[in-house]
Amino acid sequence: MERILRDFFLFLSKNEHLTKAARRYGLRFGAARFVAGESLEMAAAIISELNRKGLSVTIDHLGEFIDNQHEAEERANQCLEAIRIISNNQLDSQVSLKLTSMGLDISEQVVMKNMRKILEEAKAKQVFVTLDMEDFPRCQPTLEVFKKLKAEYNDIGTVIQAYLHRTEKDIEELNAWHPNLRLVKGAYKEPREIAFPEKSEVDANFKKIIKKHMLNGNYTAVATHDDKIIDYTKNLVMKHGIPTDRFEFQMLYGIRNDKQLDLVEEGYKVRVYVPYGTDWYGYFMRRLAERPANVAFVLKGLLKK
């Protein structure tokens, strides 16, 4: 049943018509649990509150299916504004973005122009930028853009997904750039020729790449809500004497809030991924796909209305 639900919500997440329709109806149907409002001002207030609790943040202006240059430029300008607000308000926050929202599917010229504009502002304001990973067809293009930009800018990272067969090789090849990487399980539906079909296989590969990237001496963000992966990471850093300033845990806004605070109390750095904006639909569907408990929460909320 869990796999059926996962496949169903991942199928819905890629529906462009539903994505566009969702923009008209706002953060209803439980999405506000996982999305910090539709405006940057609303998100900034939440970032400030999370910071007061000892949590760091990475903020993401949601957006998918960008297919024209003007809209990509608008998305880039919104990222610039987020960087300025982070700096002006001295918020403990980074910026995450999807390259498709910057024009990856339009042309290399468009995406590189927008990214250099963002990274110049990020460099001036000392704000770190992470390139989120998307579905498999965008994996290699994203890594190629990352490598080119990493040669020009220091404060940039990207994301590696444990469920892909190619991932261990990617970790090895990226080591030459000494990258700051967010390591995740992966939240897209891919065929078994591309991705591990079983959770046990994904978990095993996740542990493998955490260990490899950490022992390579690179900064590692372990993005998980899984207690077994969290405990594995704790034991790994203890065994190898990896200092706490060389890694962090990352979790999603609205999921396992108590665990986030418990980790902070234990002395670990925790960063919360805080999305905002009107293009919440695809992100929301993937959160429902990840955990049946999320579906139960939304249904419970709807029944109360």
Q: Work out the angle between the directed axes of helices 281-290 and 16-25 (0-180°, nearest 10).
A: 110
The domain segmentation of the chain, as residue ranges, is 36-279
pLDDT single digits (tens) 201-250: 999 999 999 999 999 999 999 999 899 999 999 999 999 999 999 999 99
Active site residue 3: no
Active site residue 182: yes
For residue 304, the model assigns a pLDDT of: 43
Percent of the residues in the chain that have a pLDDT greater than 70, as a whole number: 80
Model confidence at 3: pLDDT above 80: no
Q: Are 218 and 243 in contact (CB under 8 A)?
A: no
For residue 4, the model assigns a pLDDT of: 53
Model confidence at 193: pLDDT above 90: yes
Strand (E) positions, the chain? 56-61, 93-98, 129-132, 156-161, 180-184, 220-223, 247-252, 270-276
pTM for the predicted model, two decimal places: 0.86
How many CB atoms are located within 10 Å of the residue 168 CB?
15
- DSSP secondary structure string for all residues of 226-247: -HHHHHHHHHHHHHHT--GGGE
Residue range 248-265: mean pLDDT, rounded: 94
Model confidence at 23: pLDDT above 80: no
Model confidence at 114: pLDDT above 80: yes
Choose the weakest-confidence range: 90-94, 134-138, 235-239, 254-258: 254-258
Model confidence at 267: pLDDT above 50: yes
Binned at pLDDT 50, 70 and 90, residue 302 comes out as very low
Residue range 93-112: mean pLDDT, rounded: 96
Closest CA to 150 of 171, 128, 170: 128
Residue range 36-279 forms a domain whose CATH class is alpha beta
The mean predicted confidence, pLDDT, of the chain is: 87
The Cα–Cα gap between 209 and 164 comes to: 11
The Cα–Cα gap between 106 and 215 comes to: 37
Model confidence at 46: pLDDT above 50: yes
For residue 301, the model assigns a pLDDT of: 39
**Candidates 132, 170, 203, 279; catalytic one:** 132
Q: Are 68 and 282 in contact (CB under 8 A)?
A: no
**Candidates 182, 256, 271, 286; catalytic one:** 182
pLDDT single digits (tens) 116-129: 999 999 999 999 99
Residue range 82-98: mean pLDDT, rounded: 97
Percent of the residues in the chain that have a pLDDT greater than 90, as a whole number: 70
Handedness of CA 147, 148, 154, 159 (dihedral sign): negative
H-only helix segments in 151-221: 167-174, 199-215
Closest CA to 224 of 267, 266, 186, 261: 186
